[in-house]
Amino acid sequence: MRVLVTGGCGLIGFNIAKHYVQKGHNVEVMDNLERSSLLGHSEVEEERTTFNFNELKELGVRTYRLDVSEQKSWNLRPNYDVIFHMAAQCGVPTSIENPRRDFEVNVQGTFNALEHARKTGGTLIYASTNKVYPIHDNFRLVGDRWQFDNDEWNQNGFPARDMNKLSGSRTPYGWSKYSGDLLCQEWNTTYGVRTGVFRMSCIYGKNQFGFEEQGWATWFSIATQKNLPITIFGDGKQVRDMLYVEDVVGAYDAFLRSDLDSGVFNLGGGWDNTISLNECLTILEEIYGKRSPITYEDWRPLDQKCYVSDISALREGLGWSPKVDPKTGLTLVSKWVKDNINIF
Ligand SMILES: NC(=O)c1ccc[n+]([C@@H]2O[C@H](COP(=O)([O-])OP(=O)(O)OC[C@H]3O[C@@H](n4cnc5c(N)ncnc54)[C@H](O)[C@@H]3O)[C@@H](O)[C@H]2O)c1
């Protein structure tokens, strides 16, 4: 299989590229290595910026330093059996400060990827997000955890639903990703491009360069290891259904192998893999035997106090389920951070 991974030097893209090249497929990566500077960390050293890029080259992946939002990046690209379109501006606070880059990367970049798939054939897998759902109110605090104020969602998780029933603000990150999500659905119905859209919640894993702005679980691990202060926005009782990155690759692969011509799924750890931010800090304390100084600040605008995915469509339709629980996943991440502490 000929595979292209955009954003292949980021967390999810890296793990997709690694998975398929190790299975003997022909894998290419397109990434402009902009993650750190997009998130306001231009100080990050070259060694860290190119870490995943170099690791992929060693694994036999062909890597191209190109910007997905520029049409010329796509001109010389060949036909692919599948494009995993992961490249994005991923930071919510960043998107509020500079929405133009979200439009360029998340909307135009997705348009370019879809056009390539339309002209050359092949499937497109799109990394969408729970931030496409404008749910900001309607939560209740039960003990040390926020929940939905909705018994059905507390039972099954939040469903991939008809967006017309939801209104409210999404943040520029949310709307730009939602634009890409809709483009994928449209390119399927209008042009017959096979598209899989995965609205994901909190994904974490090895080879993630977490910052306070994005990638919080890995950031907490790096900060704990280095004794750096951690700021929690809110009370730390907010709940996420964490999903380890290898489980994400498993879900994408299950879709690729299926007979489905298209799909829009919620993808997360589900209720079994929920964790509050405070609970995450406690697990890290157990792993490292120490705790960073913690301060609590105001909630960030439009932060969801609880988000848990309804993953029944993936469980029942594709036979997929998460394999890695948060404690195991955080232990794997923390070992990777420890082994590479010189680049953090
Ligand atoms: N990590 C999560 O928790 C999560 C949750 C929901 C959705 N997503 C989505 O999944 C995808 C991958 O997320 P991730 O966590 O791996 O992010 P990441 O930031 O680790 O990786 C994104 C990669 O895209 C690259 N990139 C950015 N702009 C680019 C451009 N213009 N051209 C080429 N490359 C560019 C970056 O350099 C980076 O390597 C994103 O689309 C994100 O919106 C992630």
**What would the pLDDT profile of 36-50 be if each residue is shown by its tens digit?**
989 989 888 888 899
Q: Stretch 67-90: mean pLDDT, rounded?
A: 97
Tell me if 127 CB under 6 Å of ligand 1: yes
Query: Distance between CA atoms of 340 and 337, rounded to whole angstroms?
Result: 5
Q: What value, to the nearest 5°, has the Cα angle with vertex 125 and ends 121 and 128?
A: 140
- Going through 61-213 in order, the beta strands assigned E by DSSP cover 62-64, 82-85, 123-129, 139-142, 145-148, 195-200, 202-204
| Separation CA 7–CA 265 (nearest Å) | 21
Each residue's pLDDT tens digit, 298-334: 999 888 999 999 999 999 999 999 999 999 999 999 9
Instruction: Give the angle 176-321-256 at the CA atoms, nearest 5°.
Output: 60
On the 0-12 / 13-18 / 19+ scale of CB atoms within 10 A, 43 is: exposed
Q: Whose CA is nearest to atom 20 of ligand 1?
A: 10
The residue assigned the tokens 């798939």 is: 117
Where helices occur in 289-325 by DSSP H, the ranges are 312-318
pLDDT (average), residues 128-145:
93
pTM (predicted TM-score): 0.97
Residue nearest to atom 29 of ligand 1 (CA): 87
pLDDT at 135: 84
From ligand 1's centre to the CA of 326, what distance in Å? Answer: 21
What is the average pLDDT value for the chain, to the nearest integer? 96
- What's the CA-to-centroid distance between 325 and ligand 1, angstroms? 23
Q: Has residue 104 got a pLDDT over 90?
A: yes
- Joined tokens for residue 111: 């348009």
Over range 68-80, report the average pLDDT.
97
- List, in order, residues 6 or more apart from 171 with CB less than 8 Å away: 92, 95, 96, 131, 301, 302
pLDDT at 167: 77
pLDDT at 137: 80
Q: Looking at ligand 1, which atom is closest to the CA of residue 128?
A: 7
Q: What is the pLDDT of residues 7-35, one digit of tens each?
A: 999 999 999 999 999 999 999 999 999 99
Q: What pLDDT was estimated at residue 45? A: 84
Q: How would residue 55 be classed by pLDDT, with cut points 50, 70 and 90?
A: very high
* Residue 100 burial (CB count, 10 A): 10
* CB-based burial label for 294 (10 Å; 0-12, 13-18, 19+): middle
The residue type of 307 is Y
Residues 6 or more apart whose CB falls under 8 angstroms from that of 165 comprise: none
**Cα 144 to ligand 1 centre (Å):** 31
173-230: per-residue pLDDT in tens?
999 999 999 999 999 999 999 999 999 999 999 999 999 989 999 999 999 999 999 9
What is Dmax (Cα atoms) for the chain?
56
Block residue for tokens 């955890």: 145
Q: Which two tokens stand for residue 120?
A: 């050359």
pLDDT in tens, 231-283: 999 999 999 999 999 999 999 999 999 999 999 999 999 999 999 999 999 99
Q: Choose among 115, 83, 114, 118: nearest CA to 1.
A: 83
> Higher pLDDT residue, 56 or 302?
56
Bridge-based pairing of strands 202-204 and 239-244 is: parallel
Residue nearest to atom 43 of ligand 1 (CA): 90
Report pLDDT for 301: 84
pLDDT value for 43: 87
